[in-house]
């Protein structure tokens, strides 16, 4: 495995670029988190097109040209110490072929986001750079815990988090260590078979999802199985599964860890021997604790479930 570069810490007084690489966002949706950044000693620097709107089958924050302009500015401006996505949505796939990472490769900055930003995490990892799969600046209707942001600030300050995770009936016991990859399952699925997809051999895979029909969840899992992903990975971490299924009989519609979604996942991977940890607090959920994509982690599933960076 090639060496992964971890971006330098960014301390109080540092500038953090706020950009919207996908969906549109309003200022009122960001203000509370922008205030939080200031309270923690950071200077949020807003992208030129952060509050833009462009309709083309979806409401983007700008045209592809405008969105890539903001992203490349953030990666290449020497005054910027880290980059934080305002939100996900859809649109990051439009941008990765136009990213200018010359300065990012020489002097990497932390990139923070989740959901559609999984595409950018995958692309950065291809370049050998770690990034943070964590809460965006915009908070959703289900909110986000203070600790979810505090853990991101700890990473920016040079401290890697360690997690103890509650038990689940679907857990598969065991211990594994490897490089952490993954993010939102729909984007992992969308990249599958492309040269921008994650590599899978000896990896610890993380997945989370929101708002998918149960059959669509199964379709994505089947694609991973048919592509040989489950034969290659050393462990699996399952995060939030929220608002899954459209059936009126789904009594767990608003739960962070949908029971039936987890049952489908457990069924699809039951023939594989790798340890599997369910109910990890990351995803489109209130407790959205950050994960470092590209880091080496030790996954322990048993009497005490944990994810430690090594």
Per-residue pLDDT band at 255 (split at 50, 70, 90): confident
Q: Rounded to an integer, what is the distance from CA 153 to the centroid of its chain? A: 16
pTM of the model: 0.96
How distant, in Å, are the alpha carbons of 40, 44, 107, 144, 199 from that of 31? 14, 11, 29, 14, 37
Out of 215-229, 236-250, 294-308, pick the least confident: 236-250
Number of H helices, E strands in the chain: 9, 15
State pLDDT tens for residues 185-241: 999 999 999 999 999 999 999 999 999 999 999 999 999 999 999 999 999 999 999
Sign of the Cα torsion 49, 88, 141, 287 reads: negative
State pLDDT tens for residues 6-57: 999 998 899 999 999 999 999 999 999 999 999 999 999 999 999 999 999 9
pLDDT for 144: 95
Out of 3-7, 141-145, 228-232, pick the least confident: 141-145
Beta strand segments in 124-262, E = 131-133, 163-165, 174-184, 203-210, 235-242
Assigned token pair, 38: 């200031």
Beta carbons of 10 and 81 less than 8 angstroms apart: yes
Per-residue pLDDT band at 250 (split at 50, 70, 90): very low
Torsion of Cα atoms, 220 then 222 then 228 then 230, to 10°: 80
**Domains plus CATH for the chain?**
15-156 (3.40.50.10740), 163-309 (3.50.30.60)
DSSP 191: H
The H-or-E segment that residue 147 falls in is helix 146-156
Helices (H), 158-299: 185-191, 214-226, 229-232, 259-268
């Amino acid at each position: 495995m090639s060496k992964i570069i971890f971006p330098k810490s960014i301390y109080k007084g540092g500038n953090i670029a706020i950009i919207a690489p996908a969906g549109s966002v309003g200022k009122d949706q960001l203000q509370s988190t922008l205030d939080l950044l200031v309270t923690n000693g950071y200077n949020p620097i807003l992208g030129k097109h952060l509050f833009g709107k462009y309709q083309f089958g979806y409401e983007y924050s700008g045209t592809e040209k405008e969105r890539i302009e903001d992203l490349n500015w953030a990666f290449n401006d020497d005054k910027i110490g880290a980059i934080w996505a305002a939100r996900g949505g859809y649109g990051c796939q439009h941008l990765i072929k136009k990213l200018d990472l010359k300065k990012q490769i020489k002097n990497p900055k932390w990139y923070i986001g989740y959901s559609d930003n999984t595409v950018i995490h995958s692309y950065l990892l291809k370049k050998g750079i770690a990034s943070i799969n964590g809460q965006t600046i915009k908070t959703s209707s289900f909110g986000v815990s203070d600790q979810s942001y505090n853990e991101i600030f700890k990473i920016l300050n040079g401290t890697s988090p360690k997690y103890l995770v509650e038990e689940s009936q679907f857990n598969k016991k065991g211990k594994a260590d490897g490089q952490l990859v993954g993010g939102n399952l729909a984007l992992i699925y969308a990249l599958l078979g492309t040269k921008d997809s994650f590599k899978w051999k000896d990896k610890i895979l993380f997945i989370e999802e929101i708002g998918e029909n149960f059959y669509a969840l199964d379709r994505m899992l089947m694609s991973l199985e048919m592509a040989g992903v489950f034969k290659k990975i050393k462990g699996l971490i399952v995060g939030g599964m929220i608002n899954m299924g459209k059936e009126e009989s789904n009594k767990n519609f608003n739960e962070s860890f949908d029971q039936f979604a987890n049952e489908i996942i457990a069924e699809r991977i039951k023939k594989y021997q790798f340890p599997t940890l369910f109910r990890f607090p990351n995803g489109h959920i209130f407790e959205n604790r950050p994960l470092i994509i590209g880091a080496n982690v030790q996954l322990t599933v048993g009497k005490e479930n944990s994810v430690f960076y090594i």
